[in-house]
Structure 1
Amino acid sequence: MNIWILSAGLLGVFTSLVHLFAGQIDPIRPFLKSDLDDVPKATLLACWHLVSVTLLVTALMLTYVGWYGLNAYYFPTQLLGILYILFSMVFVVVGWYFFGSRVFVRLPQWILLLPIGLLAGYGAL
C-alpha cells in the first residue's frame, strides 16, 4: 500500500463527486437557463461531463495503484500528478484574469486539485 497515492485517489473520488453534484447547482443550472443557443449549451455541458468522467476514472486509478502499491504504474501516476497540478494552475490563471487576487476565493477548485497532484507525484517518486 502506498498511502500517498491512496490519499490522492480518495481525495480525487471526493473531488469528482463534488464536481458532479455540487457543480450542477452552482455553475451548471444557471448556465443551462441562460439565453445561449442550444448547440453551445450542449457542447459545454458535454465538456463538463467529460471532466467528470476524467476526474472519476483518474481518481479510481490512483486509488487502485495506491491500495495495491503497484510500482509498475508509478510513472503513469506521476503523469496524473502533473495533470492535476496543471488543472489547478488553469484555475489560478483563468481566475486571476477574471478576479485578480480574489481568484483564491472565487475559484477555489485549485484547493482540491493541487493536493491530489502533489500527493500522487510524491507517492510515485
Structure 2
Amino acid sequence: MNIWILSSGLLGVLTALVHVFAGQVDPVRPFLKSELADAAKATLLACWHLVSVTLLVSSLMLTYVGWFGLYSFYLPIQLVGGVYILFALVFVVVGWHFFGGKVFVKLPQWILLLPIGLLASYGAMPV
C-alpha cells in the first residue's frame, strides 16, 4: 500500500463526485439556460462531462495503484500527478485573468486539484 497515492486517489474520487453533483447546480444549469446556440451548449456540456470522466477514471486508477502499491505503475502515476498540478495551474491562471487577486476565492477548484497532484507525484517518486 502506498498511502500517498491512495490518499490522492480518494481525494480525487471526492473531487469527481463534487464535480458531477455540485457542478450541475452551480455552473452547468445556469449555463444551459443562457442564450448561447444549442451547438455551443452541447459542445461545452460534453466537455464538462469529459472532465467528469477524466476525474473519475484517473482517481480510480490512483486509488487502485495506491491500495496495491503497484510500483510498476509509478511512472504513469507521476504523469497523472503532473496533469492534476497543471489543472490547478490552469484555474489559477484563468482565474487571475478574470478576477485578479480574488482568483483564490472565485475559482477555488485548485484547492482540490493541487493536493491530488502533489500527493500522487510524491507517492510515485523513485526511492
Q: TM-score range by the shorter chain?
A: over 0.9
What is the TM-score normalised by the length of structure 1? Answer: 1.00
1:11-37 per-position Cα deviation (integer Å, ceiling 9, x unaligned): 000000000000000000000000100
Q: Distance in 1 between matches of 2:22 and 2:70?
A: 32
Amino acid in structure 1 at the alignment position of 2:111: I
Ranges of 4+ aligned residues in structure 1 off by more than 6 Å: none
Q: Distance in 1 between matches of 2:37 and 2:122?
A: 44
What's 2:12 paired with? 12
What's 1:32 paired with? 32
> Map of 1:1-125 to 2, 5 A cutoff?
1-125=1-125
Q: Distance in 1 between matches of 2:77 and 2:36?
A: 39
Amino acid in structure 1 at the alignment position of 2:94: V
How far did 1:72 drift?
0.1
Q: Distance in 1 between matches of 2:78 and 2:45?
A: 29
How far did 1:53 drift?
0.1
1:77-101 per-position Cα deviation (integer Å, ceiling 9, x unaligned): 0000000000000000000000000
Residue identity over aligned pairs, in percent, reads 77
How far did 1:76 drift?
0.1
How far did 1:54 drift?
0.1
RMSD over equivalenced CA pairs, Å: 0.2
Q: Distance in 2 between matches of 1:82 and 1:34?
A: 34
How far did 1:59 drift?
0.1
Amino acid in structure 2 at the alignment position of 1:70: L
Corresponding residue SS for 1:120: helix
How far did 1:49 drift?
0.1
- Note the residue ranges of structure 2 that are not aligned, 5 or more in a row: none
Q: Distance in 2 between matches of 1:32 and 1:118?
A: 34
